[in-house]
Structure 1
Amino acid sequence: MTHYVAIIEDAGPDHAVGVWFPDLPGCFSAGDTLDEALANAPEAIALWMDTMSEDGKPIPRPRTPSELRADPEVAADMAKHVIALIPAPDLAFQPAAE
């Protein structure tokens, strides 16, 4: 099973918990609680991948936490927030254009 690293942003009890994926630009999930946000995350990935496939765009391979920590744009968010591994549907990953 493939997993994507998720960044979890919890701004406190009066705000929704946000989940976003450094490897999946524009893909995010949210919920009133951490459990709800994490439960919604796999569906967000599946919907994002469906849209990308329908548009003929490549689905990037998931980077490991170590690879993401080496990316300065992601490392700062990983240092400030909790991360989680979220399962993705079993799809054939297409190499992303670099």
Structure 2
Amino acid sequence: MQYPLYVHRDGDTGFRGSFPGFPHAVAHGSSMDELKSDAPKVVELAYDGSEQLIPAPTCSTSELHALDMDDGVGIWMFVDINLVRVTSRAVAIQFSVLESLLQQVDLAASERHITRSAFLTLAVVHELASRYKGQSSSMPVSQRVFVDG
């Protein structure tokens, strides 16, 4: 999957890249090619075997430019990330919301330095948390039993 990476100069001799969808992964390289090569490895190491929810990537340039991490100095590029070793899987969905609500979501996501998809994923997890009665919070989401109450 192609994930957006925001690239900055890192001192005089290198580059640093941050993923809005992978907040724990920061790539480095002495050249753009090295950075692009390092980026998938950094994500795989940070999320290998992880139960962290991973949002679907965004291709919306307006959403990316709205993020606080986009300071206008760096550039956006897309990097192919192989999520085979990542335990959780994201599924793309499409739904409609009021434009004013979407603007509030985008503002809140931007303030947290995450994508719209990441924000909505966290909101869903938060909303469903009370429905997992008596089950360990350390239990993987995929093994929890949904209790309708």
TM-score (norm 1): 0.73
Taking only the aligned residue pairs, the percentage that are identical comes to 23
1:67 counterpart (63, 71, 77): 63
**Aligned positions of 1:1-98 closer than 5 A:** 2-11=1-10, 14-50=12-48, 53=50, 56-64=51-59, 65-69=61-65, 71-74=66-69, 76-77=70-71, 79-91=72-84, 92-93=89-90, 96-98=121-123
RMSD of aligned alpha carbons: 2.3
Deviates more, 1:85-94 or 1:29-38: 85-94
| CA 1:33–1:58: 2 relative to 1, 3 Å | same
| Cα distance in structure 1, aligned partners of 2:48 and 2:36 | 19
| Cα distance in structure 1, aligned partners of 2:5 and 2:67 | 16
Q: Say if 1:49 and 1:59, in contact at 8 Å, map to a contact too.
A: no
Report the structure number with the largest CA radius of gyration: 2
Greater fraction strand = 1
| Cα distance in structure 2, aligned partners of 1:72 and 1:29 | 18
| CA 1:90–1:57: 2 relative to 1, 3 Å | closer
Aligned length: 90
Aligned to 1:58, the other structure's residue is in SS state coil
State the Cα deviation string for residues 17-76 of structure 1 (Å, max 9, x = none): 11111221121110122211111111112222315x2xx22112212233222x3424x4
| CA 1:41–1:72: 2 relative to 1, 3 Å | closer
Gaps (5+ residues) in structure 2? 92-117, 124-149
Moved over 3 A (4+): none
TM-score (norm 2): 0.51
Gaps (5+ residues) in structure 1? none
